[in-house]
Amino acid sequence: MKLLYTILTTTLFSLAVFANPNTTTQSSPKKFIILGDSLTEGYGVAQSAAFPALLQKKVEQDKLNWKIISSGSSGSTSASGLQRIKWIAKSKPDMVLVLLGSNDGLRGLKPEETEKNLNDTVEWAKQNNIEVSLGQLHVPPNYGKDYEKKFSAVYAKVAAKNKIQLAPFLLDKVAGQKDLNLADGIHPNEKGHQIVADNLYPFVKKLISK
């Protein structure tokens, strides 16, 4: 009898929860996807040590019901942005941070091309009701002052045109620091990724806490 009573009680409670949409339950976390290249992917370090995973730890510590999802692909340029965000849209993200362009700069592509590609990506996201923001990426100083200036200006221009939030420079305090990068001098090591996460989190937290 005791067993039967337990089964009936559990069943009735389950039916009540199902029937009453106001019953308190833990909702699924919202999705914050970072669309990027090898910097986002965490080239050369474990995924758990890359900045998207470190951002997730901060989110959990602050008890925010969000999931930070890394969508980094090594070698990607801004030209891949439009097709990739169309693919990402299938997973119904709540927010997307676009972090593309570093490979454009390293390959010396025209800033105008990068600007067009980023605009296309952001505009498509907005047209499809995806909340999108943009991260800043720069080129090393050895590419020349003129190119460096034109390339860096692309991000502010795209953000202003589309009226979206612009994140701080991704590699602030990390770029050019030998002890914070891998031997290639381009990709952050574990210490570098920690600084990236620390720098980026206030921006991310502000977005997801609205």
Per-position pLDDT tens, the chain of length 210: 444 444 334 443 343 434 444 433 568 999 999 999 999 999 999 999 999 999 999 999 999 999 999 999 999 999 999 999 999 999 999 999 999 999 999 999 999 999 999 999 999 999 999 999 999 999 988 899 999 999 999 999 999 999 999 999 999 999 999 999 999 999 999 999 999 999 999 999 999 997
Within-domain flag for 7: no
Strand intervals (E) in the chain: 30-36, 66-72, 95-99, 131-136, 166-169
- What global pTM score does this model have? 0.86
116: domain CATH number is 3.40.50.1110
Tell me whether residue 120 is one of the annotated catalytic residues. Answer: no
Tell me whether residue 184 is one of the annotated catalytic residues. Answer: yes
Beta bridge partners, 96, equal 33, 132
Given the residues 76, 138, 187, 193, select the one marked as catalytic.
187
What's the pLDDT at 189?
Answer: 98
CA geometry: angle 164, 133, 123, nearest 5 deg: 65
Within-domain flag for 145: yes
Number of compact structural domains in the chain: 1
Beta strands 95-99 and 131-136: pairing type?
parallel
Given the residues 37, 38, 94, 172, select the one marked as catalytic.
38
Tell me whether residue 193 is one of the annotated catalytic residues. Answer: no
Within-domain flag for 41: yes
Within-domain flag for 139: yes
Host domain of residue 109: 29-208
Within-domain flag for 19: no
What's the pLDDT at 141?
Answer: 86
Rounded distance between C-alpha atoms, residue 76 and residue 61, angstroms = 31
Rounded distance between C-alpha atoms, residue 193 and residue 182, angstroms = 11
DSSP state of 106: H
Within-domain flag for 63: yes
Within-domain flag for 16: no
Within-domain flag for 9: no
Own/partner pairs, 60-68, CB within 8 angstroms, 24+ separation: 62/205, 64/205, 64/208, 64/209, 65/27, 65/29, 65/30, 66/29, 66/30, 66/31, 66/32, 66/94, 66/208, 67/29, 67/30, 67/31, 67/32, 68/32, 68/34, 68/204
